[in-house]
Structure 1
Amino acid sequence: MNWLVTGGAGYIGAHIVRALRDDGITPVVFDDLSSGHADFVPPGVAFVRGSILDRHLVSATLRDHRAAGVIHVAGFKYAGVSVHRPLHTYAQNVEGTRTVLQAMADSDVSNLVFSSSAAVYGTPETAPVTEETPTLPTSPYGESKLIGEWLIRDQAVATAASAAPLRHTSLRYFNVVGSADPTVYDTSPHNLFPIVFEQLLNGQTPRINGDDYDTADGTNVRDYVHVRDIAAAHVVAARRLAAGGPIAPAYNLGSQNGLSVREIMDTVARVTGIAFTAEVGLRRAGDPDRIVATGDLAARDLEWRNRHTVDEMVRTGWEARRAADAHG
């Protein structure tokens, strides 16, 4: 069974590719390498370089590889940057998803796992959020992911009576960290773990943006989940769709409790052996005290659980980042 992974040369996508392969599913990578890396694609895995906006190339790839489904990970994932680049964000995430859906329809491919985001919830007033929490995104990125979910929902309704009705689910998650393969690491310039790792490698002191939040230690609390667990949930969802089993339209891949920024900093210092005291700067406008999600529904249907401690999250991410330097 073959599955196409859009964005399969990126940090998360590359882990999904490995998880599919380990589960006996043949992955096919489709990526334009705008943020992915060709060397993240494992040897022997088919790789098509191209844009998800190229409907004909996506369609041809689906047909050529007789794909049973698509795991759609490709997109522009930077919420803060999306505020300044809304048109680019919508082109990649909304038009890109529409194009993938059209290519699937053209190729009679009817199974879709959509890598969505907990950014669809915006800044919820209560925590933890559930799948029933109102979706009120506060950035073009969050809006684009929610619109992507709407497109998928509407296409499923439109094809319900057809010979190949669209079967789908959307996986919503916050901060993905760690590594399950020393050759793959998070290269984003906007995520906390790689920012802190780069600062330490450059002899700089990491910074906390505000320590006067309404939390136990004054720093804001977020969901952090290990990339191996995220990848595993995508594989179970793909298996469930392909088998024709019941599946919900959306799942939160949440940790339930979350971790504070200071807890992350303390763990980084302990695990790396680099002693530092994080500097404290001003709050960032709009940052809520706490955003975490439950994973109860995903635990029921997708075998979801947090299998990694915060120490393991930091250690595996740090080791993969250091390995990248060691290999040039």
Structure 2
Amino acid sequence: MVTGGAGYIGAHVVRAFREVGLDVVVLDDLSSGHASFVPEGVPLVEGTILDTDLVAATLTEHAVAGVVHLAGYKYAGVSVQRPLHTYEQNVTGTASLLEAMARAGVPRIVFSSSAAVYGTPDVDLVTEQTLTHPESPYGESKLIGEWLLRDQARAVELAHTSLRYFNVVGSGTDEVVDTSPHNLFPLVLDALAQGRAPRINGVDYPTPDGTCVRDYVHVADLAAAHVAAARALEQGVELQRVYNLGSGEGSSVRQIMQAAAAVTGVGLEPEIAARRPGDPARIVASGELAARDLGWRNTHTLHDMLASAWSARAAR
């Protein structure tokens, strides 16, 4: 079962499972997902993970062997204004899911965590040993979700791992597009498509071109990591408690703008704005542990990422 399987990332995970011949059922309340993102032939149960009885019934009815848990409230900035909602969706929701899994006897889970658990790390390359210091209710809720899995595994049979993402971009199919109003790629591509100049917030950071550097991972590569983790757990492989899904290399905001202009053919000069409070100069993560244990790596170039996002946007 993929919770949040009608969302941008979840729909790619569903497709990745289907590509290797594994059946999937989706549970999604469609608060930010889209029923049209779920492939034909995949059962979609419309409901919330807060409904423990519904989740347990779905697990039992579909003879679920394991869960990939992506459902949750994902907007870090907005979570500061909506902390109680964020905790309800991400913490109470995860506890409800784990209760339902225990009732139904489902012993495996891959959890969608986040790089937000690190806050603003003071290192050039983030590893799984980097100290966690979340700076938003969203980041805190994801870290608590990891703790819930750890503690539940002490009480019942539960094989688990958590995948900490950085910036997820691109599309693996024109049928699924990132519709977030907060993510950089949709903001840049929407601006170019509408003839508006995209915005760069801050050009005086201590980086090679003065703009923030981030780690970008293609959504199809990310989906493949979930499948690899789920299959490893099913085969009895003892995985680490957490894995970073990072490329080990960063791209600056200005590089994103230049690549977007090359892909779209729209050469609007970016608007320069002031820094946003709290934006760190650089966050890049090592994916070495995931490469070792899951055989995972980021296979797409920055051009690939933008070209696939642009294609999906045009097909929308």
Residue 89 of structure 2 corresponds to residue 97 of structure 1: no
Offset, 1:137: 0.3
Task: Give unmatched runs, 5+ long, in structure 2.
Answer: none
Establish whether residue 247 from structure 1 lines up as the match of residue 236 from structure 2. no
Deviation for aligned residue 1:127: 2.0
Q: 1:111 is aligned with what amino acid?
A: R
Structure 1 residue 302: Cα displacement: 1.0
2:139 match:
142
The whole-number CA distance in structure 1 between the counterparts of 2:167 and 2:280 is 15
Deviation, structure 1 residue 157: 1.0
Q: Please, which of 174, 177, 181 is the counterpart of residue 185 of structure 1?
A: 177
Match of 2:198 among 195, 198, 206: 206
Between the two proteins, the alignment pairs up a number of residues equal to 316
Counterpart of 1:106 in structure 2 is: 103
After superposition, the CA RMSD in angstroms is 0.6
Question: How far off is 1:194 after superposition?
Answer: 0.6
Q: Which residue of 2 aligns with 1:41?
A: 38
- Matched-pair identity in %: 65
State which of 122, 127, 135 in structure 2 corresponds to 1:125. Answer: 122
CA distance in 1, matches of 2:124, 2:168: 19
Following TM superposition, by how much is the alpha carbon of 1:130 offset from its aligned partner in structure 2, in angstroms? 0.3
CA distance in 1, matches of 2:36, 2:105: 31
**Partners of 1:68 and 1:223 in 2: how far apart?**
33
Q: How does 1:260-275 map to 2 (within 5 A)?
A: 260-275=252-267
State the shift of 1:257 in Å.
1.4
Residue 172 (structure 1) shift: 0.3
Runs of 4+ deviating beyond 2 Å: none
Cα distance in structure 2, aligned partners of 1:276 and 1:48: 43
2:316 matches 1:320: no
| SS across alignment from 2:109 | strand
Matched, 1:302 2:294: yes
Deviations 1:275-295 (A, max 9, x none): 111111000001111001100
CA distance in 2, matches of 1:305, 1:235: 13
Q: State the TM-score, normalizing by the size of structure 2.
A: 0.99
Structure 2 letter corresponding to 1:128: L
Residue of structure 2 in register with 1:285 after alignment: 277
Separation in structure 2 between the aligned mates of residue 121 and residue 127 of structure 1, nearest angstrom: 13
**Could you tell me which amino acid in structure 2 is paired with residue 179 of structure 1?**
S
Q: 1 CA distance for matches of 2:193 and 2:259?
A: 16
Which of 6, 19, 22 lines up with 1:22 in the alignment?
19
The 3-state SS of whatever aligns with 2:25 is strand
Partner of 1:11: 8
1:201 Cα deviation (Å)? 2.0
Cα offsets for 1:15-40 (capped at 9, x unmatched): 00000000111011100000000000
Structure 2 distance, partners of 1:288, 1:174, is 14
Task: Give the distance between the partners of 1:59 and 1:309, measured in 2 at CA.
Answer: 41
TM-score between both structures, scaled by the size of structure 1: 0.96
| 1:220 corresponding residue in structure 2 | 212
Paired AA for residue 134 in structure 2: P
Q: Within the alignment, does 1:31 sit opposite 2:47 as a pair?
A: no
SS in 1 for 2:67: strand
CA distances 1:106-132 after superposition (whole Å, capped 9, x unpaired): 100010000100100000011211000
- Matched residue, 2:57: 60
AA at the equivalent of 1:267: A
Distance in 2 separating the partners of 1:251 and 1:173: 9
Q: Distance in 1 between matches of 2:194 and 2:88?
A: 35
